[in-house]
Amino acid sequence: MDWRSVKFDWNRARAFLVTAEEGSLSAAARALGMSQPTLGRQVSALEQELGVVLFERIGRSLSLTPSGLELVDHVRAMGEAATRFSLGASGQSQAIEGKVTITATEIAAAFALPRMIHDLRRAEPGIQIEIVASNSISDLRRREADIAIRGLRPTDPELIARKVREDTAFPYAAESYIADNGELATPEEFSRAEFIGFQDNKPFLEGLKAMGLTVTRDNFPVICETHLVQWELLKEGLGVVFMPRYIGDREPGIRRVANWMPPFEFEIWLVAHRELNTSRRIRLVFDWLVDAWKKL
């Protein structure tokens, strides 16, 4: 922050705000516990500092000028921040309120976060949660989100990351698919299976080839870019999908297949901007999610 750009007295800004809210110098002076002439001098001095006229007199009351209207919301935000600062310094501010934005993959947002957020909101009803369900990586440095749930440790030194879980993903299929195609009990059977994938399945294919399997694009007769739709397609018996254990093992009518295959291993990281160190609200939600992921 460029502190040299702040060219006014904050006490005078407070005098301006209270006068605007009370509607007259006399009412504002009573609210602040000072004399009316003193308050009037503070407002006049602020106008001189800023080089603008803030009020015009209408009868016995004051009305904000267009410049005053433009500035009063900024000063009101300053007043609210000053109140929170005073309460926090005196130990009176116990409630934590406000919005926290969490970005997560569609899978995590749909299957993991609902229970976590339910419990969090019961414990801290003043916290508002916005969930951004997206498979793309939000830019925390540009504050597109406060907290991100990711499958890789970030390399940006401006971010704070905490590994909360090591998990595994297995191939799953519906009972109806297994009835028609078997348990895929051998690599040969698995290589003939039908999978539900994305437009670009190259990373998946490379992973299977590294295991010695011969799976090609022809094994993907149904594709969809949305994980949740893939899961619904799987439940209709249209093919095999790799899913985290905590999701697949809980779904009725769905079973693991190819039990001879080692699982895909991955990590879950919680990531936040360095404001995590200064925001009680973001820190509370971050720590809550750390504990909740460990219990999942």
Each residue of 29-73: pLDDT tens digit? 888 888 989 989 999 998 888 888 998 887 777 888 888 888 888
- Whether residues 247 and 179 share a domain: the answer is yes
pLDDT digits (tens, 9 = 90+) for 215-264: 888 899 999 988 899 999 999 999 999 999 999 999 999 999 999 999 98
CATH number of the domain within which 128 lies: 3.40.190.10
- Please tell me whether residues 212 and 154 are part of one structural domain: no
Residues 55 and 23 in one domain: yes
Q: Considering only CA atoms, which of 264, 266, 265, 261 is closest in space to residue 191? A: 261
Same domain, 176 and 257: yes
Kindly report, residue by residue over 79-120, the tens digit of the pLDDT.
777 776 665 554 444 457 888 999 998 999 999 999 999 999
SS3 track for 25-77: HHHHHHHHCCCHHHHHHHHHHHHHHHCCCCEEEECCEEEECHHHHHHHHHHHH
pLDDT in tens, 186-199: 999 998 999 998 88
Q: How far apart are CA 238 and CA 218, in angstroms?
A: 14
Q: Are residues 144 and 35 in the same domain?
A: no
The conformation of residue 145, written as its DSSP 8-state character, comes to: -
> In terms of domains, do 154 and 271 share one?
yes
- The confidence score (pLDDT) of residue 251 equals 93
Q: What is the extent of the structural domain holding 56?
A: 3-90
Task: Report yes or no: 144 and 104 within 8 Å, Cβ to Cβ.
Answer: no
Overall number of domains in the chain: 3
Kindly give, in sequence order, each residue whose CB lies less than 8 Å from that of residue 212, ignoring residues fewer than 6 positions away: 187
Residue 160 has pLDDT above 70, yes or no: yes
Cα 71 to Cα 14, 64, 79: the distances in Å are 12, 10, 13
Q: Supply the pTM of this predicted model.
A: 0.64
* Same domain assignment for residues 272 and 248: no
Domain boundary, last residue among 70, 90, 110: 90
Do 248 and 208 share a structural domain? yes
Residues 242 and 155 in one domain: no
Of 74, 90, 106, the one marking the end of a domain is: 90
| Choice between 153 and 4, residue whose per-residue pLDDT is larger | 153
Same domain, 8 and 83: yes
Specify the CATH number for the domain of residue 44: 1.10.10.10
In this structure, the answer to whether residues 85 and 47 fall within a common structural domain is yes
- Statement to judge: residues 156 and 277 lie in one domain: yes
Query: Domain ends where: 69, 90, 111?
Result: 90
